[in-house]
Chains A and B, each alone.
Chain A
Amino acid sequence: MAENRNKKMFGGCLSALQHMELDACTQCGECLKNCPVQEVTGNRQVSPPAKIRAFRDFIKKTRGLKSFVLGARDVDRGLLEDFTRAVFECTTCGACGKACSVGIYTQRLWPMLRREMVLRGIGPIEAQRDMPEDVRRTGNPYGKPAAERFAPWFPAEVKVAEKAEIGYYTGCTGAYDAIPMVKGDVTVLGKIGRPFTMLPPEEEVCCGFPLFVTGQFELLEGLVKRLVEGYTQRGVKTLVCSCPCCVNMIARDWPHFYGRKLPFGIRHISQYVLAALEEGRISPTAPVAESIIYHDPCYLSRGVGITEEPRAILKRIPGVQLLEFTRNRANSRCCGAGGAARKVFHENAVAIGRLTIDEAYEKKAGRLVLGCPACYGKVNEAMSGYEKQVKIVDVMELLSGVL
Chain B
Amino acid sequence: MVVGNILMWAAALAFAAFAVKMLMHIAPWFRRSGRPGETHQGLRWRAVIAAVPEILLLRRLFRANPVIWLGEWVFHASLLLVIIRHLKYFLSPVPPFIWAIQRIGGIAGYIMPLSLLYIIIVKAIFNRGRYVFAYNYFLLAGFLLVSAAGVIMRTFFYPDTMQIKDFIAGALRLHATAAPDSLPFISHFCLVLIILPFLPTHIFAAPLTIYQAGKRDKELEDLIHGGKQE
A residues bordering B, Cβ < 8 Å? 11, 13-17, 19-21, 23-33, 44, 47, 49, 53, 63-65, 68, 99-105, 108, 111-112, 165-166, 212, 217, 237-238, 247, 251-253, 256-257, 265-268, 271, 304-306
Question: In the complex, which residues of chain B have a beta carbon less than 8 angstroms from the beta carbon of A101?
Answer: 58, 60-61, 64-65
Asked whether, in the complex, the Cβ of A29 is within 8 Å of the Cβ of B131, the reply is yes
Asked whether, in the complex, the Cβ of B202 is within 8 Å of the Cβ of A166, the reply is no
Q: A101-B64, A256-B37, A265-B229 are in contact. Are A306 and B224 (CB under 8 A)?
A: yes
Which residue of A is nearest B41, CB measured? A17
Interface size class of B (residues with CB under 8 A): 35 or more
Residue B28 CB within 8 A of the other chain: yes
Q: A24-B205, A252-B37 are in contact. Are A304 and B223 (CB under 8 A)?
A: yes
Least distance between A271 CB and chain B CB atoms (Å): 7
User: 10 closest Cβ contacts across the A-B interface?
Assistant: A103-B213, A29-B131, A24-B205, A23-B205, A265-B229, A23-B201, A238-B230, A19-B28, A101-B61, A305-B220
Asked whether, in the complex, the Cβ of A14 is within 8 Å of the Cβ of B35, the reply is yes
Least distance between A121 CB and chain B CB atoms (Å): 20
Question: In the complex, which residues of chain B have a beta carbon less than 8 angstroms from the beta carbon of A165?
Answer: 230
In whole angstroms, how far apart are the Cα atoms of A21 and B202 in the complex?
A: 9
Asked whether, in the complex, the Cβ of B128 is within 8 Å of the Cβ of A29, the reply is yes
Asked whether, in the complex, the Cβ of B39 is within 8 Å of the Cβ of A17, the reply is yes
Which residue of A is nearest B131, CB measured? A29
Contact of B216 among A25, A29, A64, A105 (CB under 8 A): A105
Which residue of B is nearest A30, CB measured? B64
Which positions 31-88 of chain B face chain A at CB distance < 8 Å? 31, 33, 35-39, 41, 58, 60-61, 63-65, 68
Question: In the complex, which residues of chain B have a beta carbon less than 8 angstroms from the beta carbon of A251?
Answer: 223-224
Contact of B135 among A27, A100, A212, A267 (CB under 8 A): A27
| 12 contacting pairs across A/B (C-beta < 8 A) | A15-B33, A23-B201, A26-B202, A28-B68, A100-B64, A101-B61, A102-B209, A103-B209, A217-B36, A265-B229, A266-B224, A305-B225
Question: In the complex, which residues of chain A have a beta carbon less than 8 angstroms from the beta carbon of B206?
Answer: 24, 26, 102
In whole angstroms, how far apart are the Cα atoms of A11 and B41 in the complex?
A: 18
Q: A65-B24, A304-B224, A306-B224 are in contact. Are A238 and B229 (CB under 8 A)?
A: yes
Residue B96 CB within 8 A of the other chain: no
Asked whether, in the complex, the Cβ of A24 is within 8 Å of the Cβ of B230, the reply is no
Which positions 120-166 of chain B face chain A at CB distance < 8 Å? 127-128, 130-133, 135-136
Asked whether, in the complex, the Cβ of B25 is within 8 Å of the Cβ of A23, the reply is yes
Asked whether, in the complex, the Cβ of A112 is within 8 Å of the Cβ of B35, the reply is yes
Which residue of A is nearest B212, CB measured? A17
Asked whether, in the complex, the Cβ of B221 is within 8 Å of the Cβ of A305, the reply is yes
Asked whether, in the complex, the Cβ of B38 is within 8 Å of the Cβ of A15, the reply is yes
